[in-house]
């Protein structure tokens, strides 16, 4: 397992993390573990939302056949 050191954490953030840990009945370290694990996992709904955004972007852009461009470049040399 890796260890992580967080420097210059704002006091208000630490205070909020401690309060959350207390309300969840766990240590500060366990609360930070939970926060990081939750942040690293994207829900299926979030994945679909992001995928939908990318599909919209790709549909809006035009794509050219690079094969034709490469042949044209070769023919001019």
The answer to whether position 17 is within a domain reads: yes
State the pLDDT confidence band at 23, using cuts at 50, 70 and 90.
very high
Residue 72 confidence (pLDDT) above 80 = yes
The whole-chain average pLDDT of the chain stands at 89
The answer to whether position 68 is within a domain reads: yes
Number of domains in the chain: 1
Q: What is the rounded CA–CA span in Å between residue 35 and residue 51?
A: 24
The answer to whether position 6 is within a domain reads: no
The answer to whether position 4 is within a domain reads: no
Q: Who has greater pLDDT, 19 or 37?
A: 19
Residue 71 confidence (pLDDT) above 80 = yes
Q: How far is CA 21 from CA 7, 12, 16, 34, 35, in A?
A: 20, 14, 9, 10, 10
Give me the domain span that covers residue 62.
Answer: 11-75
């Amino acid at each position: 397992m890796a260890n992580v050191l967080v420097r210059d954490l704002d006091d208000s953030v630490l205070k909020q993390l401690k309060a959350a840990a207390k309300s969840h009945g766990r240590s500060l370290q366990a609360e930070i573990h939970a926060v990081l694990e939750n942040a690293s996992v994207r829900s299926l709904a979030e994945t679909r939302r992001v995928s939908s955004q990318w599909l919209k972007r790709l549909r809006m852009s035009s794509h050219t056949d690079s094969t034709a461009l490469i042949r044209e470049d070769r023919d001019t040399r």
